[in-house]
Structure 1
């Protein structure tokens, strides 16, 4: 690394790279709520930013442009994404990660990077930080290539923590196996139905988007959470399609059950003949046609004390009610993004 660490500057803002994305905007909210100055960095300005947030746009995500945008900051949270296409990820993910990590290395900035669990592939048992990396999809292979880039930067001295999250569930989540709009609609529609990708009896782990944002901010600023290169973010209690649908029915308060509309692998393969989105989903069906559990014991042992959200908490958030006391889901996030 070169230069004096900007994180030594008192009051230096935290940069959110990819601030216009589905999690980046929530990270900006979380920083504002904690009274922490922030810089929103991206190719376009977010549609709305908290008061006091500085916006810096850049023409492209290359190392030089990012270095300019990140100058004067004290830490970086990267919530970057690419269009959900294996070809795009294969060509673009590792170079994108390299540009961000390289700019952080040039400026001596600690990097907290949001990632997913695709690198583990179809591993048996609960996924933990020590699960072998064995991707079984093109998208997983692209994520592994990005991880190898980060390993090289870390070996050269970069302070980086890769925060892996389960599938998103909650306000702002659009590119996920269960879009939040569909969950909200199931609590409000006259004839509700919950679309469920995969086996409705398979157990699945989700990560609540507001918790993801809160955890990223804490990891960026708490040395105790930066002891390792990989950290799994907090998860919701594992659910099946049926248990979540039942919770949504209870949240409606009218005694009606929310029916499921399962989309199983054979249906997705047929849809792939005419739908690009379905074609991209085919290789990922291993995640939802069998149990997939993501463990978060490590971050909890390091100080994440909020109880795990339950299906009823998620349903209450979707229905616009407050979750149970002590949980980490802020109501204002639901009001803004639902």
Structure 2
């Protein structure tokens, strides 16, 4: 797809622009010529322009701030989530209600990064857009209700694009299993932890690829169904160890020699009563016990080939961005 550079093609509001997918999509829309606004709770002034993005002071939990920020926008990206998986039952649904109100008032299309939490075991191992959504977890039930509200809002003229992908990784992916579970950001790679069972496949998605997919769908938004859902294939780790081995191989090219170890689920279980984030992660452990992948047939019918960065390049960029590789590679080839 060719994108006209430096030509304003619309105005978009990003909720969650300080996070991984929200920040990446904000930058890609900016580079594609969009005027990008981002809502942030902590700003020194009511409005700040930085790196070609206009930052507005406001809170996704405050309907008036969301509606005001969305004025004149053709797209609202709802990439905001409670940090550390905490307070989902209090925050997730009120935030989407505010986004729906803003979209109804402005005629904007909502773009939502979806999750696999919506699905239970009866939908595995291959998820399609029409797979049954019968989650077995509290967070999954909340996400199903979130999407139900968006679909119901089509009666108010609200249009939505949902892009569902695997576990995120990338140079600025924010909270992710890659950064929280497999390696330690800010430290040279010494150990790579493997959360899944041997032989159990797992799906990963490189954040820049996800954002590029969203940009392509946003450019087609007027031709899509009022509530359009798409799944990405991303990087399928067929035996559950390919990602860990890719990290190990990249690190070795930079003079490091990390070892692979099983993720200490037993320790996470012991600490979970005292660490809310670990407690929430334990609830989603079932996604590491069974293979879960997604079919991207509908996506490729719509846009052609799914954006896809080779795994080795994606892992290297991620480790560099997380500060896990030496500044000067040892024996690396360019």
Question: Which digits, 9 at most, give the CA deviation of each residue in 1:246-267, with x for residues without a partner?
Answer: 2223322278764222225444
User: 1:289: Cα distance to partner?
Assistant: 1.8
Distance 1:336 1:255 in 2: 15
Contact 1:178 1:196 in 2 (8 A): no
| Cα deviation code 1:200-254 (max 9, x no counterpart) | 4321001111112222222222237733521224512335442223222332227
For structure 1, which segment, 259-268 or 138-147, has the greater mean C-alpha deviation from structure 2 after superposition? 259-268
**When the two structures are superposed, what TM-score results if normalisation uses the length of structure 2?**
0.81
> Which residue is 2:51 aligned to?
51
Q: Which residue of 2 aligns with 1:207?
A: 205
* Partner of residue 70, structure 1: 70
1:94 maps to 93
2:247 maps to what in 1?
Answer: 248
Determine the C-alpha separation between the residues in 2 that align with 1:146 and 1:45: 28
Deviation at 1:168, TM superposition (A): 0.8
Aligned to 2:15: 17
**Which has the larger displacement, 106-115 or 252-261?**
252-261
Superposition deviation, residue 304 in structure 1:
4.4
SS in structure 2 at match of 1:71: coil
Q: Which residue of 1 aligns with 2:195?
A: 197
Change (3 A) 1:224 1:337: farther
Q: Is the CA contact (8 Å cut-off) linking 2:237 and 2:243 kept in structure 1?
A: no
The TM-score with structure 1 as length reference comes to 0.80
Residue 30 of structure 1 corresponds to 28
SS at match of 1:113: strand
Q: CA deviation at 1:142?
A: 1.0
Query: Against the structure 1 CA distance between its residues 262 and 89, is the aligned structure 2 distance closer, same or farther, given a 3 Å change threshold?
Result: same
Shift of 1:145: 1.6
Closer, same or farther in 2 for the Cα pair 1:315/1:161, shift >3 Å?
A: closer
What is the CA–CA distance in structure 1 between the aligned matches of 2:154 and 2:38, rounded to whole Å?
24
Structure 2 Cα separation of the partners of residues 335 and 275 of structure 1: 23
For the 8 Å contact 2:75–2:109, the answer to whether it is kept is yes
* Stretch of structure 1 that moved more, 248-257 or 153-162: 248-257
Q: Which has the higher strand share?
A: 2
Q: Is the 8 A contact 2:209 2:308 kept in 1?
A: no
Q: CA deviation at 1:282?
A: 1.6
- Residue 44 of structure 1: CA displacement? 3.3
How far has the Cα of 1:302 moved from its partner?
Answer: 1.3
Check whether the contact 2:186–2:322 (CA below 8 A) recurs between aligned residues: no
1:40 matched to 2:10? The reply is no
SS of alignment partner, residue 241 of structure 2: helix
Partner Cα distance (1:78, 1:314) in 2: 25
Cα distance change, pair 269–319 in 1 and its aligned pair in 2 (3 A): closer
Deviations 1:114-153 (CA, angstroms, capped at 9, x unpaired)? 2211011233221111110011111101111211211221
Judged with a 3 Å threshold, the aligned counterparts in structure 2 of structure 1 residues 158 and 149 are, in CA distance, closer, same or farther, namely: same
CA contact (8 A) 2:268 2:282 kept: yes
- State which drifts further: 243-252 or 305-314: 305-314
1:194 Cα deviation after fit: 0.8
User: Does the 8 A contact of 2:77 with 2:111 survive in 1?
Assistant: yes
Give the Å deviation of 1:113: 1.6
1:156-179 deviation digits (Å, cap 9, x = unpaired): 321112222221111222322221
- 1:313 shift after superposition: 3.4
Q: How do residues 143-162 of structure 1 correspond to structure 2 at under 5 angstroms? A: 143-162=143-162
The separation in 1 between residues aligned to 2:207 and 2:40, in whole angstroms, is 20
Would the aligned equivalents of 1:204 and 1:292 in 2 still touch at CA under 8 Å?
yes
Say what the alpha-carbon RMSD is for the aligned residues. Answer: 3.1
Structure 1: which 5+ runs fail to align?
A: 1-9, 321-333
What is the CA–CA distance in structure 1 between the aligned matches of 2:279 and 2:105, rounded to whole Å?
A: 39
